[in-house]
Amino acid sequence: MQTVVSTTTQPTGPNLAALPTYSEDIWHHMSDALHQSIYRVLTLLIAVLPGILAFFVALVIFAVAGAAISWILRRCLTWVKFDLRIARKGGTDWAPTTSPTELLARVSFWTCVLLGLIIGVSAFDTSYSTGTALPISLLPYLTHAVGAALLLVAGILIARFLARSVLISAVNAQLQYARFLSLGVKWLVLVLTAAMVLDHLEVGGNIVELAFGILFGGIVLTLSLAVGLGSRDLVSRSLESRVEHNNERAHIPEEPAGAGSSIRHF
């Protein structure tokens, strides 16, 4: 009997000895790419870092200078009795926090801070544009961002002012939904402000404009319908009484307009 000895022979497919070489190449390329990108970013940071440092140094120096100038100005004006001289001329008694001396001191401080900010931003931009080959300059976007921030602040202040005006007027008109009306006005203004800020930052493009237009127009249309349909009698009576009031303007009334009430506030 013959013993069949099976022997294992090497397969005839690809050469596995080459696989480690391919994986080493891939890893090598990957690490090269990573190293290069890290290098680029670090280079950019190194180029920008002095500018950032210059920005903060300028801001701090001018803020300190502003504080010093403000203190000196306050002392000098107090010594020459500036508030008293102004009060004598204008006949007004000033509150301590809003006296002319205090106002001038604050204006001088914030002027120095603003100057420091401008110089710092300018130094940052110079450093950035000379230290890198990237064509993008950060300064225009920074100014847009500052403008957007100012828009936001102004919008919030206007929203709060209008909300308070509407609240007080509605309460004095004895409208039960005074708070709701005030909140509605506040949010309308805030939504408008947000849309303006996003537009200023060139974020979202047409989508933001379209969304805002639909939202705002819808709210205004809803309010118009609600007021117009719900209070058309009141509006027409109010218009009629206004026309009568204008015709009788030369006549000084001696009795109050409200029938049945004997209260005269004056």
Q: Within 239-258, which residues bind other proteins (CB under 8 A)?
A: 245, 249-257
Name which of 204, 198, 203, 115 is nearest 151 in CA terms. 198
What is the C-alpha separation between 151 and 197, in angstroms, rounded?
6
* Structural contact between residues 55 and 123, judged by C-beta atoms closer than 8 angstroms: yes
**Residue among 141 and 161 whose Cβ is closer to other proteins:** 161
**Residue among 130 and 251 whose Cβ is closer to other proteins:** 251
Name which of 119, 123, 143, 118 is nearest 51 in CA terms. 123
**Residue among 90 and 230 whose Cβ is closer to other proteins:** 90
Binding mask 19-58 for other proteins (x = CB under 8 A): ----------------------------------------
The SS3 call for residue 260 is coil
Please report how close the Cβ of residue 171 comes to other proteins at its closest, in angstroms.
5
**Residue among 3 and 97 whose Cβ is closer to other proteins:** 97
What is the C-alpha separation between 129 and 139, in angstroms, rounded?
10
Contact residue for other proteins among 2, 6, 97, 130 (CB under 8 A) = 97
What is the C-alpha separation between 175 and 182, in angstroms, rounded?
11
Please report how close the Cβ of residue 103 comes to other proteins at its closest, in angstroms.
12
Please report how close the Cβ of residue 173 comes to other proteins at its closest, in angstroms.
9
126-155: b (≥16 Cβ within 10 Å) or e: ebbbebbeeeeebeeeeeeeeebeebbeeb
For the range 158-161, what are the long-range contacts, defined as Cβ-Cβ under 8 Å and sequence gap of 24 or more? 158/189, 158/193, 159/185, 159/186, 159/187, 159/189, 159/190, 159/193, 160/186
Decide: is 233 part of the binding site for other proteins (CB under 8 A): no
CA 43, 48, 50 angle in degrees (round to 5)? 115
Contact residue for other proteins among 31, 143, 169, 241 (CB under 8 A) = 169
Contact residue for other proteins among 36, 165, 236, 238 (CB under 8 A) = 165
CB atoms within 10 A of CB 100: 16
Of the candidate spans 19-27, 40-48, 138-146, 163-171, the one that interacts with other proteins by CB under 8 A turns out to be 163-171
Size of the site for other proteins (CB under 8 A): 36
| Two tokens, residue 139 | 């300064």
**Residue among 61 and 178 whose Cβ is closer to other proteins:** 178
* One-letter amino acid for residue 37 of the chain: S
**Residue among 13 and 258 whose Cβ is closer to other proteins:** 258
Binding mask 175-204 for other proteins (x = CB under 8 A): -x-xx-------------------------
The residue with tokens 């007027």 is 169
Decide: is 174 part of the binding site for other proteins (CB under 8 A): yes
Decide: is 260 part of the binding site for other proteins (CB under 8 A): yes
Name which of 116, 142, 136, 137 is nearest 55 in CA terms. 116
Task: Name the site residues for other proteins (rule: CB under 8 A).
Answer: 91-93, 95-98, 161, 164-165, 167-169, 171-172, 174, 176, 178-179, 245, 249-257, 260-266
